[in-house]
Amino acid sequence: MAGNDKFRDECGVVAIYAHPEAETLAYLGLHALQHRGQESAGIVTSDGMALHIHKAMGLVADIFTEKRLARLRGTLAIGHTRYSTTGDSALLNAQPIMVQSNKGTIALAHNGNLTNAQEIRSRMEAQGSIFQTSSDTEVIVHLIAQSREHTLPDAFADALRRVEGAFSLVMLSRDRVFATRDPRGFRPLAMARIPAQNGSTHDTIVFASETCAFDLIGAQYEREVKPGELIIVGPEGVSSRNFAPAQAQSSCIFEHVYFSRPDSRIFGRPVQESREQLGRELAREAPADADLVVPVPDSGVTAAMGYAAESGIPLRFGLIRNHYVGRTFIEPQQSVRDFGVKLKLNPVRSLLQGKRIVLIDDSIVRGTTSRKIVRMVRNAGAKEVHMRISCPPTISPCFYGVDTPRKAELIAANNTIEEIRQYTGADSLAYLSLDGLKKACHDGEKTTYCTACYTGQYPTNLVDVEEILPAAVEKP
């Protein structure tokens, strides 16, 4: 499949406080965040007395029918949509995770990855703790339960101080919603408000991984959850505390390159602006003598708009994406070359015939899909294919909530750009420089970004990257 050579998105989380249809708002929020994970989804609600949960494998719209949502009726809710590995244990790892603890019943949903989860887990298991899942999120639940602090907010803050890595978290208790980000602010999490209606005394407070979720439910964006901040929303209103001092900020720049929707505002900056600027910088750094700019849909579209605007070369949609490809399909018995890519993308021959094409994509991971797409464009009659990538070569895995291949599988970690060009079959190949990437995303103004996947320089202490297997601890 064409999408298999992309980084897997980490997760999306949403939380709703004080709304008569909290479960429906959570469902709609998850629907807007579906691009962040398509393997499983879950919602936990509170009616003020008890928590109710439903989670399953599949897409949000398939899991939550009207009848199912009616059983989850509540005024508080959290939700989660996730990319997970396949297998029998996958549903066990679906979130939110709900547990009965000495601090009451709580539910937790996590976007990110804890770099010291395995160490904490091993220590806890040696002391007799029993884990139900392979998700690193469960470590936080155990830390809350074992905390010597007496109140849930204090116990949560205590647990957060003990974990390292990337986390944007929402948590639900019987009468409160909690939202927090790690001290470095790796992953996004924003807060919005729906003014009180129909005689209600409380505004509805909403949290979500991306602001596009607010637009769908009519919530007004207020601000980001700050790195190292814990926000608690309860009967007494909204309160905030710092569970740890904010550290040198290292927000994931790949949110702007690929993960987030273009209509979202991430780390205080519109994604659409960043991506157009990526394309403009790329056109300045790596011009091409060509007839058409053609994006690889959908991830290359916005950068291609910027490249075309800066270069003056017309933009045309020479590859059409089929948006209705299910997860199962019947392959013809006689093998069709590049069938998986053809299933998702089809060339517009009348546009490409005899033309010199600048093909724009956001990244090359293993290179296998890029090779097939170049071949497809050439077979459709293109005279030349010049590939341009709107980020630098990816040379290192991410351990902060993105499911990336090991270093040995990353084509740019083991090959020169010329070798990658030869492998893909493009007439020329150029990547955006690291400086160009930072400039396009306004690095250092409102946000300082993590670029470890392009540099191999990680902002937190890690063991040698080859010792960390992405499958060792399930990423939420």
Q: What percent of the chain has pLDDT over 70?
A: 91
| Predicted local distance difference test score (pLDDT) of residue 469 | 45
| Predicted local distance difference test score (pLDDT) of residue 174 | 97
| Predicted local distance difference test score (pLDDT) of residue 382 | 98
| Predicted local distance difference test score (pLDDT) of residue 136 | 87
| Predicted local distance difference test score (pLDDT) of residue 333 | 67
Average pLDDT over residues 111-127: 90
Least confident among 15-19, 60-64, 198-202, 314-318: 198-202
Q: How confident is the model at residue 5 (pLDDT cuts 50, 70, 90)?
A: low
| Predicted local distance difference test score (pLDDT) of residue 387 | 98
**279 vs 115, more confident:** 279
Verify cis geometry, omega within 30 degrees of 0, for the bond prior to 392. Answer: no
3-state secondary structure 317-356: CCEEECCCCCCCCCCCCCCCCCHHHHHHEEECHHHHCCCE
| Predicted local distance difference test score (pLDDT) of residue 273 | 97
pTM of the model: 0.91
Average pLDDT over residues 366-384: 97
Contact 348, 297 (CB under 8 A): no
Cβ atoms within 10 Å, residue 372: 21
Catalytic residue list contains 11: yes
Gap between the Cα atoms of 464 and 460, Å rounded: 12
Least confident among 215-229, 233-247, 275-289, 462-476: 462-476
pLDDT reading at 4 higher than 60:
no
pLDDT reading at 357 higher than 80:
yes
Gap between the Cα atoms of 113 and 15, Å rounded: 19
| Predicted local distance difference test score (pLDDT) of residue 426 | 98
| Predicted local distance difference test score (pLDDT) of residue 330 | 64
pLDDT reading at 270 higher than 80:
yes
Gap between the Cα atoms of 260 and 220, Å rounded: 19
**327 vs 199, more confident:** 199
Gap between the Cα atoms of 65 and 22, Å rounded: 15
| Predicted local distance difference test score (pLDDT) of residue 85 | 41
**H or E segment to which residue 310 belongs:** helix 301-311
pLDDT reading at 466 higher than 90:
no
* 48 burial via Cβ count (<10 Å: 0-12, 13-18, 19+): exposed
| Predicted local distance difference test score (pLDDT) of residue 319 | 97
Mean pLDDT of the chain: 90
Q: How confident is the model at residue 287 (pLDDT cuts 50, 70, 90)?
A: very high
Average pLDDT over residues 40-51: 96
Closest CA to 43 of 71, 20, 19: 71
| Predicted local distance difference test score (pLDDT) of residue 452 | 94
Average pLDDT over residues 247-273: 94
Least confident among 31-35, 127-131, 147-151, 328-332: 328-332
| Predicted local distance difference test score (pLDDT) of residue 169 | 97
pLDDT reading at 349 higher than 80:
yes
Amino acid letter, residue 67: K
pLDDT reading at 326 higher than 70:
no
| Predicted local distance difference test score (pLDDT) of residue 92 | 81
Gap between the Cα atoms of 194 and 204, Å rounded: 5
Q: What percent of the chain has pLDDT over 90?
A: 75
pLDDT reading at 27 higher than 60:
yes
pLDDT reading at 52 higher than 60:
yes
**280 vs 407, more confident:** 280
Q: How confident is the model at residue 8 (pLDDT cuts 50, 70, 90)?
A: low
Residues in the chain: 476
| Predicted local distance difference test score (pLDDT) of residue 110 | 95
Gap between the Cα atoms of 33 and 16, Å rounded: 15
Give me the domains of the chain, ranges plus CATH numbers. Answer: 2-250 (3.60.20.10), 271-322+337-449 (3.40.50.2020)
| Predicted local distance difference test score (pLDDT) of residue 78 | 98
| pLDDT tens track for 160-194 | 999 999 999 999 999 999 999 999 999 999 999 99
pLDDT reading at 464 higher than 60:
no
| Predicted local distance difference test score (pLDDT) of residue 329 | 57
| Predicted local distance difference test score (pLDDT) of residue 425 | 98
Rounded-to-10 torsion of CA 169, 173, 178, 179: 20
- Helices then strands, counting H and E runs in the chain, come out as 18, 23
**151 vs 340, more confident:** 151
Gap between the Cα atoms of 311 and 293, Å rounded: 9
Gap between the Cα atoms of 397 and 323, Å rounded: 28
Q: Which of 11, 212, 252, 441 is catalytic?
A: 11
**198-204 long-range contacts, CB within 8 A, separation 24+:** 200/18, 200/20, 202/17, 202/18, 203/18, 204/16, 204/17, 204/18, 204/19, 204/25
pLDDT reading at 427 higher than 90:
yes
| pLDDT tens track for 120-138 | 999 998 988 888 888 888 9
Amino acid letter, residue 263: D
Gap between the Cα atoms of 104 and 44, Å rounded: 15
pLDDT reading at 26 higher than 90:
yes
